[in-house]
Structure 1
Amino acid sequence: MAYQALYRVYRPRSFEDMVGQKIITQTLKNAIATHQTGHAYLFSGPRGTGKTSAAKIFAREVNGIAPETDDSQIPDIIEIDAASNNGVDEIRNIRDGANYAPIESEYKIYIIDEVHMLSSGAFNALLKTLEEPPANVKFILATTEPQKIPATILSRTQRFEFKRIDNDTIQARMAEILQKEGVSFDDDALHIIANVAEGGMRDALSILDQVLAFGADHVTFENALQVTGSTTASQLVTYLQQVSNYDTESALQTLHDILLEGKDAVRFVADLLGVLRDVMLAEVAPNLIKTTAPLADLKALTIKLGTSRIQQMMVTLDDIQKQLLQTMQSDVYLELLTVKLSMPEPEQTVPAKQSPNVIKEKPQNIDDIVKAPKSTEVPEKQVVEPAIEKIPVEVSAVENAEYEDLLVRTGQNAVFAVLIAAKRDALARVKNAWSDLLRQFNVTQQAMLTIAEPIAASEQAVVLAFDYPVLLEQALHDATLQNHLVQQLQSQNLPSELVFISQDEWTSDRALYVNKLKTGETPQIQLEDVPRVKAANLPATPTKTPQASSNKELKIVSEAKELFGEDLVNIVD
């Protein structure tokens, strides 16, 4: 006898066999027992939750047909697939056939699967018959998308919402089936399959079929991971720990190890969302956690990440999940995801403690000088702050101390300077070599440059547009990246002067440049005249001696006394 899939062999034949839909099955059983069945039903809900099975069981039991009876031997139960029979003519045939009495049973029952696929004309043709069918005719409509069904149809049916089946119920059902089949199994393997099935019993049994085919003697945890493309909880927790520590390079390496094992990109993001969900619930509802990861690790991640960052990461994962469905370059998107998740916010790139030699802002007027509160950042005891310009500090300048200068330019003038001398063939050469050029960088740098696109080039320079401003800021101050990029461009005889901007800046700058050309106001800018980005290095010693600062402070105080008088100016030590 030909092999049959598990979900066909173990399809429920009675309401007692159905799992996960207790309220619906009990309601239908009571209606049959009390002879209070309706003339039209709508079964809606996710795939694989038992809608069609419940319809067939109801049709048999309302006619008093034994569960073991083969469906093909029951002429009065007519099942129609609306996906392939969705026209007006098919519905007219149903309407005409409903006028004839049942052949053997008490009721003639039409089961219309995927009813939302019917055309508007077909729905209109069905409307009157569905509202007032002959006394011995019943309709059962099944659909996964009830929102596509006209309200006029919905109002004429009794509606039953089938819910997703919980993981414990799916695991118990699979365990029962495997015991009947005489196959041993790992509980963790069934847990993985139930998670991937996402509440669908049919999906779970189909995956179980694949796992059995992969290794028939025993359903192992490793086989379940291989077949489903899932990632182990320990790998996901390790990845999140690296992301939480802003360790981009290690997180990218973990990602690559996962992908080398053949894991599915979409499945990886879904598993990551599931673990993040458990991290979020670790402190507030540990009994709802689904992952097998240790609770202590989840709680540690909860404290490390914080609620707001967890929510932001989940939104990012949801966006990437949608993009993965529309691309063939899933690895690139996962690398971009890793960089986004592990990059700190812009304000986090500034050291928490500022040097006492760096004074904040210059006071705006003499009133601010006199009324200024005592500052804890001035080493001297005078309240009045010296007018020393604030010196910004960038972490990247310290990390890339092997290079003294940055090589990149940015801003509108730099873009205009390239556009004035832009050549299409120069840009084409850069684009053609771009993918090969990226292979010369390490994993972290590749991830940074992956989200950059060459969008303009002259014989001298190339403009790279970055998708995300936060990563653009990192690249602007990454001297190692810039020097390596220049070397690679020069080695391939490509334009090597660099201009970095964001995609939004490119859109606005290009539009402004085109407008200037149309009005005859062609900009006259040379790239050499545009300064490069300055490396913001924090000086080790103050640029001014304490005595000089003191003299300047005394001069300011004397000016204040001249303006307001000595009686009004109070110097607080």
Structure 2
Amino acid sequence: MAYQALYRVYRPRTFEDMIGQEVITQTLKNAIETHQTGHAYLFSGPRGTGKTSAAKIFAREVNGIAPETDDSQISDIVEFDAASNSRVEDMRDILSNVDYAPIEAEFKVYIIDEVHMLSNSAFNALLKTLEEPPANVKFILATTEPQKVPVTILSRTQRFEFKRIDGQAIAAHLADVLKQQHIDFDQDALRIIANVAEGGMRDALSILDQVIAFGTDTVTVDNALQVTGSTTTTQLMQYLTAVTNSQTPEALKLLHDILVAGKDAQRFVSDIIGLLRDIMLANIAPELIKSTAPLNDLRTLAQQLNSQQIQAMMGELDDIQKQLLQTMQSDVYLELLTVKLGMMIQGDQSHTESTQHATRNTSSFASPESLNDPTVTTQPVSSDTQPDTTTVIAEPTQNEGVSAQENLEATHDTVKPIAQSSQYDESEAVSHNNSLARTGQLAVFAILQAAKRDTLSRSKSTWATLISTFNVAHQALLTIASPVAASQEGLVVAFDYPALLDQALKDVVLQEKLIAALREQNLPTALVLISKDDWQQERAEYVKQLKAGTTQTISLSDVPYVSQQEVLTTATDATITATDAVIAPKVVTEAQKLFGNDIVTVVD
């Protein structure tokens, strides 16, 4: 006898056999027992949840036909596939026999599957019969997309919404099937299959069929992972832990190992979303956790990730899922995702630390006179803790009446060298001071004054090719950056997130490689790196000054490269902003700077 798939062998034959749709089955059973059945029903819901099976069971039960009777032997139950017979002519052929009495049964039952596929003309032909059906005819319409069914049809049916079947119920049913088949299995393997099935019993049985064939009649966790393309819980936890700790290189290596093992990119993203959900519920509702990861490990990550971070990460994962459907380079998009998630967590942590640092530093200013002292002090470092990043207190941005040259001089004068702590890493300072990039308003203005549209177009068109030769970490970082302005001399590159900009400004190796790649493509090599938010503000300011005729000629060669102090100032913007807000308004500090403390008097 030919082999039959499990979902066909174990298809429900009675309402009691159906899993996870107790409300619907009980309602239909009561209607049949009390002889209060309607003339038209609409069964809607996700695939594999029992819509067509329930329709066939109802058709047999309402006619008193035994469950073991073969469907093909019942002439009064007519199945119609609207997906392949969507024309009005096909519908008319079916409805032409409606007026004839049933041959053997009490009712003639028409089951129209995928009813949403019917054409408008076919729906109109069906509508008249639904309005005034013969007494001995019943219609059951099944669809996965009820929103595509005309409201005139919906209003003439009793609607039943089939829900996704719970994962535990699916796993329990799979266990019963395997026991009847006398096949050994691991319970965790069934949980993996149930999660992948996404609430569909038919999908779960089909996957189980594949796992049995792959594992020589044994259902194990490894076999289930191989067949479904899922990633082991251990690998997922390691990956998410690395991302949470902002260990992006380690996370990229783990991702590479997962992809090399042949795991599906879409399934990987879905697994990460599921794991984040379990982390969110670890301390709130542990009984709802679906993952096989230890509860203590989930709670450890839950202590590091707050609900806002989890929500933001899920948003990024959802965006990547949509993009993966439209690309063949899934590995690049997953690398991009990894860098984004790591920088997102790092940015949130930096913001929190900066806010706390600003709160601590507010009390360290004793008098208004200290605000005008350009000397920068170093915060004391406790001997038993890691030294904190030294704080730069910079003078505010110049007023509109100050010339561009004075602004340029202020860039050198107002940001003073930091008094170094005895524990400061000097090699890091050398790396920052040797930066090959510029940033800020002056650099952007210098590019915009000599902007070349054709140069920018060439830069954009070759950007993907240009960065393709970089290593994984650099390529992932530059993928979420793009050229936004170009002159014959320089190129403005905007980054999606300030945290990524900070990393690029500190990475001299990345800058050297990028300059070399630009030179090979005959593109401008003077780099100006900026965040996208700042780029939009600076461009708007430049256009405003251009219209007002107040722009000043700025040479890019006069704009200094990014120094260590400027990088640290960028990283502690939150600290400076919070301190300035508490200390004194901008106009006061500017007036004190120009005329001296003895002349300027602040009157509240």
Q: What is the TM-score of this pair, normalised by structure 2?
A: 0.77
For residue 191 of structure 2, what is the aligned residue in structure 1?
A: 191
Contact 1:266 1:321 in 2 (8 A): yes
CA–CA distance in structure 1, aligned partners of residues 537 and 359 of structure 2: 38
1:420-569 alignment to 2 at 5 Å? 420=450, 422=452, 424=454, 428=458, 432=462, 434-435=464-465, 437-441=467-471, 443-454=472-483, 460-490=489-519, 495-503=524-532, 526-536=555-565
- Post-superposition Cα deviations, 1:126-168, rounded to whole Å, max 9, x if no partner, equal 2221122001100001111222222222221111111111112
Q: 3-state SS of the aligned residue for 2:331?
A: helix
Q: Are the counterparts in 1 of residues 437 and 511 from structure 2 also a CA contact under 8 Å?
A: yes
For 1:105, the aligned partner's letter is: A
Measure, in 2, the Cα distance between the counterparts of 1:60 and 1:200.
24
Following superposition, the deviation at residue 245 of structure 1 comes to: 1.4
Partner Cα separation in structure 2 for residue 414 and residue 377 of structure 1: 31
- Aligned equivalent of 2:400: none
Distance 1:426 1:281 in 2: 48
Q: Is the 8 A contact 2:451 2:485 kept in 1?
A: no
**Equivalent residue number for residue 288 of structure 2:** 288
Q: What is the one-letter code of the residue matched to 1:191?
A: R
Q: Deviations over 1:400-443 (max 9, x none)?
A: 643523221345664565563647479648854854654343x3
Q: CA deviation at 1:295?
A: 0.8
Residue 310 and residue 512 in structure 1: after superposition, are their counterparts in 2 closer, same or farther (change >3 A)?
A: closer
Counterpart of 1:129, as a letter, is: T
Structure 1 position 233, deviation (Å): 1.2
Amino acid aligned to 2:69:
T
Compare 28-37 and 161-170 and name the one that shifted more: 28-37
**SS in structure 2 at match of 1:104:** coil
Distance 1:355 1:59 in 2: 72
1:180 correspondence with 2:195? no
| 1:84-483 → structure 2 map (5 Å cutoff) | 84-343=84-343, 344-345=346-347, 347=351, 350=354, 353=357, 399=428, 401-410=430-439, 414=443, 417-418=446-447, 420=450, 422=452, 424=454, 428=458, 432=462, 434-435=464-465, 437-441=467-471, 443-454=472-483, 460-483=489-512
3-state SS of 1:536 partner: helix
Structure 1 partner of 2:63:
63
* Contact 1:427/1:456 (8 A) holds in 2: no
Counterpart-to-counterpart distance in 1, 2:230 and 2:259: 11
Question: How far apart are the structure 2 equivalents of 1:515 and 1:358?
Answer: 35
- The alpha carbon displacement at 1:495 in A equals 3.8
- Deviation, 1:390, is 7.2
Which has the higher mean CA deviation after the structures are superposed, 176-185 or 469-478? 469-478
Aligned-partner Cα distance in 1 for 2:65–2:53: 15
How far is the alpha carbon of 1:14 from its aligned partner? Answer: 1.7
Structure 1 unmatched ranges of 5 or more: 370-374, 380-385, 540-554, 565-573
Q: Distance in 2 between matches of 1:242 and 1:96?
A: 66
Decide whether aligned partners of structure 1 residues 521 and 7 sit closer, same or farther in structure 2, where only a CA change above 3 A counts.
Answer: farther
For the 8 Å contact 2:174–2:190, the answer to whether it is kept is: yes
SS at match of 1:464: strand
Deviates more, 1:42-51 or 1:209-218: 209-218
- TM-superposed deviation, 1:240: 1.8
Contact 2:193–2:204 (Cα < 8 Å) also in 1: yes
Q: 1:351 to 1:398 in 2, by over 3 A?
A: farther
The separation in 1 between residues aligned to 2:331 and 2:426, in whole angstroms, is: 30
1:217-260 Cα offsets, whole Å, 9 max, x none, are 31111111011111111111112222221222212222222112
> What fraction of aligned residue pairs are identical, expressed as a percent?
61
Q: Shift of the alpha carbon at 1:520?
A: 12
Cα RMSD (Å): 4.2
SS of match in other structure, 2:65: coil
The SS at the match of 2:564 is coil
Q: Distance in 1 between matches of 2:332 and 2:442?
A: 32
- Once residues 138 and 332 of structure 1 are traced to their aligned partners in structure 2, the CA distance between those partners, rounded to angstroms, is 54
* Secondary structure in 1 matching 2:433: coil
Q: Does structure 2 retain, via aligned residues, the 8 Å contact 1:79–1:110? A: yes
Distance in 2 (alpha carbons) for counterparts of 1:445 and 1:32: 67
Contact 2:43/2:140 (<8 A) preserved: yes
Q: 1:104 to 1:152 in 2, by over 3 A?
A: same
Q: Offset at 1:311?
A: 2.3
Number of aligned residue pairs: give it.
534
> What do the CA deviations read for 1:254-287 (whole angstroms, capped 9, x no partner)?
2222112111111111111111111111111111
Once the two structures are TM-superposed, the CA of residue 476 in structure 1 deviates from its matched residue by 3.1
Once residues 273 and 44 of structure 2 are traced to their aligned partners in structure 1, the CA distance between those partners, rounded to angstroms, is 27
- Secondary structure of the residue aligned to 2:503 is helix
What amino acid is aligned across from residue 68 of structure 2 in structure 1?
Answer: E
Give 3-state SS (helix, strand or coil) of 2:205's partner.
helix
Contact 1:242–1:250 under 8 Å retained in 2? yes
> What 5-or-longer segments of structure 2 have no aligned partner?
382-392, 396-413, 419-423, 570-591
TM-score (norm 1): 0.81
The CA deviation at 1:85 is 2.2
Query: Does the 8 Å CA contact 1:320/1:333 hold for their aligned counterparts?
Result: yes
Provide the residue aligned with 2:79 in structure 1. Answer: 79
Q: Out of 522-531 and 208-217, give the one that drifted further.
A: 522-531
Alpha-carbon distance in 2 for matches of 1:362, 1:399 = 32
Q: Aligned to 1:97, what secondary structure does the other structure show? A: coil
Equivalent residue of 1:342, what SS? helix
CA distance in structure 2 between the partners assigned to 1:310 and 1:122 by the alignment: 47
Shift of 1:118: 2.3
The residue that corresponds to 2:409 in the other structure is none
Question: What letter matches 2:193 in structure 1?
Answer: I
